[in-house]
């Protein structure tokens, strides 16, 4: 896998942002089924704000860049995803060194998952972004060969696995059993971000 430098940092930010923006309509459509139908447009607004400062973000030390991305998402998304994804990126920024190892990324992601649980008052198995991030973190912590490809598959499979779950947090929980049979939009957006990172570091 590649080591962190400014070029890789730029590629990673661009890949995550463009993937979320390119799939905004799908995210909105998932959210229309079990939420308030704004996840795609909110995430797009957040990552467009990130891209307006891509030159600055690419050249800052990784922890600073991650903190700034988190703040941009927090300030611009405008829904519950703002604080949740803001917390994800800000915690990664707090925990990661400028050029992290795989083990350090796994530890930082574990810390971010804990912070998201606190922020969202949520646990694994409640049909949220945590149901993607937690299995991805477990796979990452296990290490091994072909890690990027495995993480990518794991992320998409985990998002799919939210479909039969009953939502216990957020607007979708108002639907009760009617939330069953739809993929969670936050799980989907998380899987897109993980896959975008894997495409860059594994390719």
Partner 1 sequence: MPNVGIVIVSHSAKIAEGAADMVRQMVGDAVPLAYTGGNASGGLGTDVAAIMAAIDRAWSSAGVAVLVDLGGAETNSEMAIELLGHGRRAGVVVCNAPVVEGAVMAATESSGGSPLDVVKRTAEELSAQ
Query: Residues touching partner 1: how many (CB under 8 A)?
Result: 22
Nearest to 193 by CA among 43, 87, 64, 10: 43
Asked if 120 touches partner 1 (CB under 8 A), the answer is yes
Token pair 């989907």: residue: 188
Between 1 and 75, CB nearer to partner 1: 75
Min. distance of Cβ 159 from partner 1 in angstroms? 21
> Residues 171, 180, 199, 202: which binds partner 1 (CB under 8 A)?
171
What is the enclosing helix (H) or strand (E) of 116?
Answer: helix 102-120
- Candidates 74-82, 93-101, 148-156, 160-168: pick the segment binding partner 1 (CB under 8 A): 74-82
Between 4 and 129, CB nearer to partner 1: 129
> Residues 38, 95, 131, 184: which binds partner 1 (CB under 8 A)?
38
CB–CB of 140/106 below 8 Å? yes
Q: Which two tokens stand for residue 106?
A: 């796994």
**Rounded to an integer, what distance in angstroms lies between the CA atom of residue 161 and that of residue 136?**
13
Asked if 36 touches partner 1 (CB under 8 A), the answer is yes
Asked if 170 touches partner 1 (CB under 8 A), the answer is yes
> Residues 10, 119, 150, 153: which binds partner 1 (CB under 8 A)?
119
Asked if 48 touches partner 1 (CB under 8 A), the answer is no
Token pair 């922020």: residue: 119
Min. distance of Cβ 79 from partner 1 in angstroms? 4
Which spans of this chain sit near partner 1 (rule: CB under 8 A)? 36, 38, 41-42, 45, 74-84, 86, 119-120, 169-171
């Amino acid at each position: 896998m590649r080591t962190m430098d400014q070029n890789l940092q730029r590629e990673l930010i661009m890949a995550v942002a463009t993937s979320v923006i390119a799939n905004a309509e799908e995210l909105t459509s998932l959210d229309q089924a079990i939420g308030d139908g704004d996840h795609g447009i909110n995430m797009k607004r957040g990552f467009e704000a990130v891209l307006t400062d891509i030159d600055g973000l690419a050249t800052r030390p990784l922890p600073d860049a991650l903190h700034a991305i988190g703040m941009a998402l927090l300030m611009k998304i405008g829904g519950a995803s703002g604080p949740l994804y803001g917390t994800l990126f800000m915690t990664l920024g707090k925990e990661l060194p400028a050029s992290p190892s795989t083990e350090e990324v796994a530890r930082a992601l574990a810390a971010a998952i804990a912070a998201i649980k606190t922020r969202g008052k949520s646990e694994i198995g409640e049909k949220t972004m945590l149901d993607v991030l937690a299995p991805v973190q477990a796979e990452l912590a296990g290490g091994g060969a072909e890690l990027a490809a495995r993480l990518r598959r794991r992320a998409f499979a985990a998002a799919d696995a939210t479909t039969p779950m009953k939502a216990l947090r957020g607007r979708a929980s108002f639907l009760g059993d009617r939330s069953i049979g739809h993929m969670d939009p936050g799980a989907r957006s998380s899987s897109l971000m993980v896959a975008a990172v894997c495409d860059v570091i594994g390719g």
